[in-house]
A and B are shown apart, each in its own frame.
Chain A
């Protein structure tokens, strides 16, 4: 190694030191510890007791909540992610049409996604209030008798998805940036060839933004595995008017991350919660793997 190389190595490590320390202390060591805890019975106060694969066995074969939380999480993912992507794409496509007042509309659609999640959650509990909320009031004025939303096990998950849809502004901005990069010449050529609007959408726009759709899909899937705060605030037994039960009516909103949190920080079953975290990790890797394997529809532009 030359003197120059040694100097670079020294400086490089020095400048990267914050991350190196952070990685070792807050990521690498915790990963090892978490795996160890997952094989233990551990309540923080006493030393962990080795129990082998017992936590995993209990989770997979005995815990009645485990499958329920998986079902709830997958429900939120399977309906929530495509809906938000579709809505965000439609809004972005509308904004990408040379409209006047672009920045006004963009602001209106984006603003909800900067609202603190606690404020969003409390606000939507009130908006979705079956008797006095504004959604059921609007539905009533259309002659529809609105459902009980968060109080009704059949409607609680759709209610949460609806709340999430209000915050699609982030995804919309990413789509808009993607749409703006689609070369105009492609559309002009297609118009000359007599392609109609739908054909242009299907054959030009969607292939061109497919990498963006793919990115947002992966991000959405990751986020829905970790979905916690809203559901915790909106349905976790904090509103006496909802009967004060954790996980919403009939456990219909007990999602995976919520159950994990309850085990870790309310029941102090840290070992059990660690095992849940590892299953969560494996599940998200598996789902992302499947998405990657079936990503033949993603069209990457040739090198420019």
Chain B
């Protein structure tokens, strides 16, 4: 907002104070994960772990079936990513590059469904999967992504619309089928948008809690989110180990953020993100 030079000090002071407050929870998680139980339960707390105690990490991956949960989460996240990239790009292609009758009605219908609280459909969808005997499998957590997530369809549609129509027309004249135009022209031109879809569908299924909670029952099938919460419910006082497990769970997401920062920012700006 065009500040004067002498405002700068205040702006930096506010930013530094804010950064301190926003970073503190991370620091607290990290130092708690490196403390013994005696160090954790001291008043006032020590802001540095001394000596550094790595045992919690070892306990976290052995005591909690961490690797098992990690593997389950990876399978589900990858399934969702593949499903969303495929379905969202196909549907977005139809909604933006093929002029068919009824298309806009469908598109607005889809936008409308984004406002519907998931609680309304949650129970019947559960009943459907139960009838298909798919409770306690990964199927209910993966199948919906192959049928299109409105947010991703919307995001890719916006992007596809920006590609000049002349490209499609020229290709059609040359005898390309829609499938060829989609696969050879539109997709390669939309890599940045596809990366955003990959990043967010991976992230959302990585952090999802409600769906695994509803659909998974046997502990061997738990995801990291569900497994960690279940562990906490039975070992609420093992803060060191819980914080170590938490750190291990946060780390991949933080790395993903640093690798794909641009894709993150683009995704958030294109549309408000849900939790």
Contact = CB atoms under 8 A, between A and B. Distances in A.
Contacts of A276: 119
A123 B153 contact: no
A184 B23 CA distance: 32
Interface in A216-249: 216, 219, 222-223, 225-226, 228-229, 233, 238-241
A167 to B, nearest CB: 8
A168 B261 CA distance: 17
Given A19-B153, A114-B257, A132 B90 contact: no
Interface of chain B: mostly helix, strand, loop or mixed:
helix
Nearest to A257: B119
Interface stretch (B12-20, B52-60, B189-197): B12-20
Contacts of A223: 274-275
Given A22-B144, A137-B45, A114 B273 contact: no
Contacts of B43: 131-132, 137
B184 interface: no
Contacts of A177: 269
B232 A122 contact: yes
Interface in A184-204: 184, 187-188, 191, 197, 200-201
Interface residues of A, number: 101
B209 A118 contact: yes
Nearest to B237: A241
A127 B25 contact: yes
Contacts of A239: 232-233, 236
A253 to B, nearest CB: 16
B113 interface: yes
A127 B40 CA distance: 12
A116 B124 contact: no
Interface in B1-59: 1-3, 7-8, 11-12, 14-15, 18-19, 22-26, 28-29, 32, 40-45
Contact of A18 (B32, B146, B228, B243): B146
B67 interface: no
A15 interface: yes
Nearest to A229: B209
B216 interface: no
A31 interface: yes
Given A21-B147, A97-B11, A238-B232, A132 B268 contact: no
B94 interface: yes
A109 B18 contact: yes
Nearest to B18: A91
A26 interface: yes
B121 A200 contact: no
Contacts of A229: 209-210, 275
Contacts of A79: none
Interface string B87-100: 10011011100111
Nearest to A228: B210
Interface stretch (A6-14, A50-58, A67-75): A6-14
Interface string B190-232: 0000000000000100110110001000000000111011001
A245 to B, nearest CB: 13
A274 B127 CA distance: 12
Contacts of A127: 25, 28
